[in-house]
Amino acid sequence: MLFIIIHVNKDDIMDNDNNHFNNIYVQTKKLVGYKTIQQCTPLDYKNLGFKSGLEVHQQLYTDKKLFCRCPAGMYFPGEDYDAEVIRHMRPTLSELGEYDGTALMEFKTKKNITYRIKNPTTCTYEIDDTPPFPINQQALDIALEVALLLKTNVVGELHITRKQYLDGSIPTGFQRTAIVGIEGEIPLAEKKVRIIQLSLEEDACREVSDFRHQRIYTTDRLGMPLIETVTYPDLLTPQEVVEAGNYIRFMNRSTNKVRTGIGATRQDVNVSIRGGTRVEIKGVAHIKWFAELVHNEAFRQKSLLHISSQLKQRIKDIKKWDLTYQLIDPSLINPLPPSLKYYADSEIKWVAVNLPHFQDILAHFTQPGQVFGDELRGRLKVIACLELENLIHSQDRNELLATVDFSKIRQLLKSKSLDAQLLFWCPSQDLSTAVETIRERCMLAFHGVPNETRKALADGTTVFERVLPGPDRMYPDTDSAPLPIDEERINKVKNNLPPSIHYRYEQLNKWEISRHYWIYLLRHNLVPIIEKIIAFTNYSPKFLAGFFAQDLKHLEGRNSSSNFDYIHLISLFKFISKHNLSPEIAKIMLPVVFNNPNIELESVLTIIGYQKRNISDILSYIPDLRKKFKSIAKNKNINAERNWIMGNLKLLSIGNYPLDKLSEEVNRRVK
């Protein structure tokens, strides 16, 4: 409906109305029915047909990598390397004899891939100059443990499978991966979420840079053991996505055998809505980002469906639709785009494209701050290697639109009134890929939502990353033999499983631990530590939980690279209990222990200046303190006096006498 209204006076608007872009953006956003996540209720998601599933990748804590004997978890910055190796990736025939869609796209991009190698972390296996060594058994046992926690059906025999990745992130061109278990479940508060599979796989390279036809990776992370937990698309609201993400993460951590820290846990999240398509958002670093990302993706899909229905109304035979394009003179654009500087030594082509019937589609809302034209930009960047800003279209943001004379372009292209135009520029070698990329994306718009993986941005939106690969990219690894997993091995792991996260939730509830602390305690697997401490003391779990989730968290927050072993917490409380100290002294001792984990705890007492005193000693200071207070205090209020005296006695008392009891004594004496 909107389009009819706008088209009445199209040319006037195009040429004169400065807010044309905004008008379309705002109106289409409204038409699509976009609401913020705060405004949405579960019913809204139900009406959208929102469905989401998770793929949680978790690095395992092993000494060595999965298929070679290089050390795991040793990282170097991208600029620090010993040698470089260059590879190109070619699509291959999968075992069913077809090329995979992603494979073809990646091949089109013709990227030079450079691997930076640091000798201590990389051997001939990582750069694919030697076949794999037998799989790391330590990693397999951890994976089995998680497979059992997920209640999956464990396979009888592990088959290493190759999963193709032509982006170059793995020098072989595929990831070695194997399914350990299928069909499990995790309990959320309101429902059970089904698990598709738990697989054990090797981690990929870390990307250093990606510019034009050159992508650089470093191989230190490559080959580290990783498990991937995949859920069914059973998550029906963004809140459920977050809840499931947390559950899986806590469960992985509960084994105490997984890595923590930056990049150790990475999530992909799949989203679809009714009539839409499964789109995968890759590499979400923080679970708290999930909600916004999946919410926006749901509305992006709704927007694309809206665009599809608009186009189908306008175009009688979509099969016959095609764009036209012409090389033009750069004089039609002024000033010249800044991105020209990236192509300094290439011959530049200036290309004007006419998109029949696409009037106003290019400025159609897709995500907060993004429009359909940005979908073209994203694909041009990734597939044709054209750096942003890579195009300007006839309904573009004002500052860009002002640089191009679109009326001339419309004349040149003999555009009709309902057509849209765009102008792009590229090195001549990229021209045909670029045109093909635009044509393909426009034609995909007729069908709604293309199969894509998208990269998460910090603002909750996403950009195109690649075409979503199908099962066609899986084929058996001819370099490794199947490995039986017998009952004995499973039972051994089964007998040492940690309690479920569900059980931990109940435990925390019973202990009346504030919900604010839960995430921290579970993420760091501190509940077993609390259990151990209360087994030999009478300290309350609530005190310990608060102590960890505040004092310990504070210390860790200030020193994020520390590898503080929580076993020292147990020794600390053992010491405190053995010496009959009041547990509050832990708050003062912890910073010292945290920074010097192997220190003698006796000497910590010296460092913090602790002296043993009984309560009558401590209280005997009160008369002198009262005199002193009267002489110095401006505010003679009784509570101020009590607080001031408490403050002075606190340090003498800590470890000797519980502070709450001290406070009672002070209050009794200071009246």
Q: Does position 218 bind another protein by CB under 8 A?
A: no
Nearer to another protein, 111 or 300 (CB): 111
How many other C-beta atoms are found inside a 10 Å radius of the C-beta of residue 195? 25
Among 48, 60, 123, 258, binds Zn ion (CB under 5 A): 123
Residue 164, Ramachandran bin (φ over 0: left; ψ between -120 and 50: alpha; else beta): beta
Nearer to Zn ion, 226 or 588 (CB): 226
Residue 195: phi and psi, rounded to 5, are: -105, 130
CA distance 92 to 81: 30
Nearer to another protein, 118 or 253 (CB): 118
- Give least dist CB 483 to another protein, A: 9
Number of residues near another protein (by CB under 8 A): 61
How many other C-beta atoms are found inside a 10 Å radius of the C-beta of residue 129? 10
All residues at 6 or more sequence positions from 524 whose CB lies less than 8 Å from its CB, including other chains: 253, 260, 548, 566
Give the one entry of another protein, Zn ion, none that residue 127 binds, where binding means its C-beta sits below a cut-off of 5 to 8 angstroms depending on kind: another protein
Q: Does position 68 bind Zn ion by CB under 5 A?
A: yes
How many other C-beta atoms are found inside a 10 Å radius of the C-beta of residue 27? 19
CA distance 180 to 197: 8
Give the one entry of Zn ion, another protein, none that residue 103 binds, where binding means its C-beta sits below a cut-off of 5 to 8 angstroms depending on kind: another protein
Provide the sign of the torsion angle of the four alpha carbons 534, 538, 544, 546, taken in this order: positive
Taking residues 419 to 458 in sequence order and writing x for each that binds another protein by CB under 8 A, - otherwise, the string is ----------------------------------------
Taking residues 139 to 168 in sequence order and writing x for each that binds another protein by CB under 8 A, - otherwise, the string is -------------xxxxxxxx-xxxx-x--
Q: Does position 124 bind another protein by CB under 8 A?
A: yes
Angle at CA 513, nearest 5°, toward 511 and 519? Answer: 125
- Give least dist CB 196 to Zn ion, A: 30
All residues at 6 or more sequence positions from 263 whose CB lies less than 8 Å from its CB, including other chains: 59, 206, 221, 285
CB 185 within 8 A of CB 195: yes
Among 78, 101, 131, 546, binds another protein (CB under 8 A): 131
Q: Does position 125 bind Zn ion by CB under 5 A?
A: yes
Q: Does position 195 bind Zn ion by CB under 5 A?
A: no
Rg of the chain over CA atoms, in angstroms?
31
Amino acid at 351: V
Provide the sign of the torsion angle of the four alpha carbons 347, 375, 368, 457, taken in this order: negative
- Give least dist CB 434 to another protein, A: 20
- Give least dist CB 515 to Zn ion, A: 44
Q: Does position 497 bind another protein by CB under 8 A?
A: no
Give the one entry of Zn ion, another protein, none that residue 582 binds, where binding means its C-beta sits below a cut-off of 5 to 8 angstroms depending on kind: none
How many other C-beta atoms are found inside a 10 Å radius of the C-beta of residue 202? 27
Nearer to another protein, 88 or 286 (CB): 88
Nearer to another protein, 182 or 412 (CB): 182
b/e sequence 530-561, b meaning 16+ C-beta within 10 Å: bebbbeeeebebeebbebbbebbbebbeeeee
Q: Does position 172 bind another protein by CB under 8 A?
A: yes
Residues 174-193 interacting with another protein (rule: CB under 8 A): 174, 177-179, 182-183
CB 278 within 8 A of CB 451: yes
Note the helical H segments in 273-351. Answer: 290-314
Angle at CA 17, nearest 5°, toward 14 and 22? Answer: 90
Nearer to another protein, 157 or 436 (CB): 157
| Closest to 642 in 3D by CA, of 669, 615, 617 | 669
- Give least dist CB 171 to another protein, A: 6
Amino acid at 392: I
- Give least dist CB 449 to another protein, A: 21
Cis bond upstream, residue 389 (ω within 30) = yes
Amino acid at 491: N
Nearer to another protein, 203 or 665 (CB): 203
Number of residues near Zn ion (by CB under 5 A): 5
- Give least dist CB 122 to Zn ion, A: 6
Cis bond upstream, residue 623 (ω within 30) = no
- Give least dist CB 87 to another protein, A: 5
First to last CA, the chain: 78
Residues 48-107 interacting with another protein (rule: CB under 8 A): 81-93, 95-99, 103
- Give least dist CB 124 to another protein, A: 7
CA distance 473 to 465: 17
CA distance 108 to 573: 62
Q: Does position 541 bind another protein by CB under 8 A?
A: no
Nearer to Zn ion, 25 or 61 (CB): 61
Nearer to another protein, 491 or 631 (CB): 491
Nearer to another protein, 177 or 421 (CB): 177
Nearer to another protein, 159 or 266 (CB): 159
From 117-125, 182-190, 210-218, 491-499, span contacting Zn ion (CB under 5 A):
117-125
Give how far Cα 198 sits from Cα of 226, 476, 545, Å.
10, 18, 31
Nearer to Zn ion, 119 or 209 (CB): 119
Residues 364-393 interacting with Zn ion (rule: CB under 5 A): none
CB 68 within 8 A of CB 132: yes
Among 345, 399, 486, 488, binds another protein (CB under 8 A): 486
- Give least dist CB 66 to another protein, A: 16
Describe the crossing of helices 290-314 and 372-383 by its angle, rounded to 10 degrees.
100
- Give least dist CB 564 to Zn ion, A: 29
CA distance 270 to 279: 5
Nearer to another protein, 123 or 352 (CB): 123
- Give least dist CB 430 to another protein, A: 18
- Give least dist CB 216 to another protein, A: 13
Q: Does position 115 bind Zn ion by CB under 5 A?
A: no
Residues lying near Zn ion in the complex (CB under 5 A) are found at 68, 70, 123, 125-126
Residues lying near another protein in the complex (CB under 8 A) are found at 81-93, 95-99, 103, 124, 127-131, 152-159, 161-164, 166, 171-174, 177-179, 182-183, 196-197, 199, 471-476, 478, 481-482, 484, 486
